[in-house]
Structure 1
Amino acid sequence: MTDVALETRDLTIRFGGHVAVNAVSCVFRPGELTCIVGPNGAGKTTFFNLISGQLPPTSGTILLDGQDVTRLPVSHKTRRGIGRAFQLTSLFPNLSVLENVRLAVQARRQRGIDLFSMWSSHGAVQREAEECLARVALADKRHQPVAALPHGDQRKLEVGILLALQPRVFMFDEPTAGMSVDEVPVILNLIQEIRRDRSKTVLLVEHKMDVVRSLADRIIVLHNGTLMADGDPAEVIASPIVQQAYLGVAEPEAEVVDG
């Protein structure tokens, strides 16, 4: 196994005159969970979109296990091992919860022309899909149509689909957004479980600093599309530039001395 799972080199995207991601170079290693933080509009989700293939970069390179995957479409990057959860994950609203996960298992097993054949020949696929649903606490809703699920359960289903795809690089974009307090631990415990697998690489965009502190092995900070900090969580969070730009802490005013 290579020491570097994923790498971006000078990754850049421009929309007209606006540079949304500006020459970002980062290395992501197996067994490491990296939290990507920054204020609204910092370029975090755009950076994710570039890596996962939703957007083509203006310039720069994306390497997966040392291979250039910069211009590959989403489907090809998924097959190579990059898995993305939330925001742009495709759910089939008229199919059941179980059918959604089952299709993901079948896609990974490359049974594309056999998706709707006799179910009796796919017992192993069903068992794997059921296991994924149990891990995201949706087993009791397996037969419900996705369209009937509340937002929090749809988020959990997206994680279930990601688990079914078994990627080597997991990308979570604000995984707890829109969830109730009771639902959040299910997802955080799953991310912790994935993190313990030293062959997996986890990237997490998150605004909640308590979540960042509890999960991160490393934090990178984007601001106006530029990589502003990268390192140990405690050091990054404590740095004055991050306190000011991300946490909104003002710089101390100079003391005025009378006389």
Structure 2
Amino acid sequence: MPPVLETRDLTIRFGGHVAVDGVSCAFHAGTLTAIVGPNGAGKTTYFNLMSGQLAATSGQTLLDGDDISALGAAGRAQRGIGRAFQITNLFPNLTVGENVRLAAQARGRAKASLLSLWSSHRDWIAKADHYLEEVNLSGVRDTLAAALPHGDKRKLEVAIMMALEPQVFMFDEPTAGMSVDEVPVILDLIRKLKADGTKTILLVEHKMDVVRSLADRIVVLHNGRLVADGEPAEVIASPVVQEAYLGQAPKAVEATHG
């Protein structure tokens, strides 16, 4: 099957520094790909290029075979790329329900005519309630987003992304800053999306136990370049990953993560 999302020789330079260096990679529906690498490898920058937060110096990003390189973040979101950030990206002074309703409304406005907008309002509220139930936040729908604990804010961000109904889900360190008790909730949400079988899911994550439990495929970046790509067991065991990403000898890696 043709890829849903693809980059071709994607490159960005900041002055004399090449943060992402000619990365070509294709992502397919029904597959969860973990993008890993050491700090400064270019993982988040690569995400920012694909989702439109940054404009590439050269190269292309394609969605369903169409070149979307000229589109910004809003245009790419409308085309079906959903992005969650390391730091939660919410409307803090709106309620939990309003945050999700606005996402459903933004998605609905792209499809609705002016005459149908008013009648659609109830549908947007119903969709918001549905996605809040999916992430177990129905009980706090009238709470201000700013008042939520960190773990619930991450769940709310997932609900917002689900309400946008994207083809591509991009998670940038979704468990960052979460307590041990909160992490399984987010991982279960991602597993639920993966079980759908029709979504393309990309995940930047430092925790190798999380990568092992979720990924169908691992892509490794190092100094902005793609250095490994394949099945998790094969990639994790490769010398280039153990040296460049984990920075440990094979036995030490196994003792730490086995």
With the length of structure 2 as denominator, give the TM-score of the two structures. Answer: 0.91
**2:6 match:** 7
Structure 1 residue 195: deviation in Å?
Answer: 1.1
**1:256 match:** none
Map Cα deviations across residues 117-168 of structure 1 (whole Å, 9 max, x no partner): 97x8632221211111122221111111111122222111111100101100
Structure 2: 5+ residue runs without aligned partners? 252-258
Query: Do 1:137 and 1:186's aligned partners in 2 also have CA atoms closer than 8 Å?
Result: no
Query: Do 1:29 and 1:201's aligned partners in 2 also have CA atoms closer than 8 Å?
Result: yes
1:42 aligns with 2:36: no
Query: Do 2:88 and 2:154's aligned partners in 1 also have CA atoms closer than 8 Å?
Result: no
Q: Secondary structure at the match of 1:109?
A: helix
1:32 aligns with 2:31: yes
**1:236 match:** 235
Name the amino acid aligned to 1:223: H
Q: Secondary structure at the match of 1:189?
A: helix
Name the amino acid aligned to 1:44: K
**2:146 match:** 147
State how far apart, in whole Å, the 2-side matches of 1:22 and 1:64 are. 20
1:247 aligns with 2:243: no
What is the RMSD of the two structures over their aligned residues, measured on CA atoms?
2.0
**1:156 match:** 155
**1:186 match:** 185
Structure 1: 5+ residue runs without aligned partners? 253-259
Name the amino acid aligned to 1:192: R
Name the amino acid aligned to 2:194: R
State how far apart, in whole Å, the 1-side matches of 2:128 and 2:103 are. 8
Aligned pairs, number: 248
% identity of equivalent residues: 66
Structure with the larger helix share: 2
Name the amino acid aligned to 1:153: D
Query: Do 2:96 and 2:142's aligned partners in 1 also have CA atoms closer than 8 Å?
Result: yes
Structure 1 residue 90: deviation in Å?
Answer: 3.8
Q: Secondary structure at the match of 1:246?
A: helix
Higher alpha-carbon Rg: 1
Query: Do 1:229 and 1:236's aligned partners in 2 also have CA atoms closer than 8 Å?
Result: yes
State how far apart, in whole Å, the 1-side matches of 2:2 and 2:184 are. 30
Query: Do 1:86 and 1:155's aligned partners in 2 also have CA atoms closer than 8 Å?
Result: no
Q: How does 1:36-115 map to 2 (within 5 A)?
A: 36-87=35-86, 90-110=89-109
Name the amino acid aligned to 1:55: L
With the length of structure 1 as denominator, give the TM-score of the two structures. Answer: 0.90
Structure 1 residue 102: deviation in Å?
Answer: 0.4
Map Cα deviations across residues 60-104 of structure 1 (whole Å, 9 max, x no partner): 000000000012011110111110012476411111010000000
State how far apart, in whole Å, the 2-side matches of 1:240 and 1:71 are. 38
State how far apart, in whole Å, the 2-side matches of 1:227 and 1:160 are. 31
**2:254 match:** none
Query: Do 1:37 and 1:222's aligned partners in 2 also have CA atoms closer than 8 Å?
Result: yes
State how far apart, in whole Å, the 1-side matches of 2:216 and 2:236 are. 13
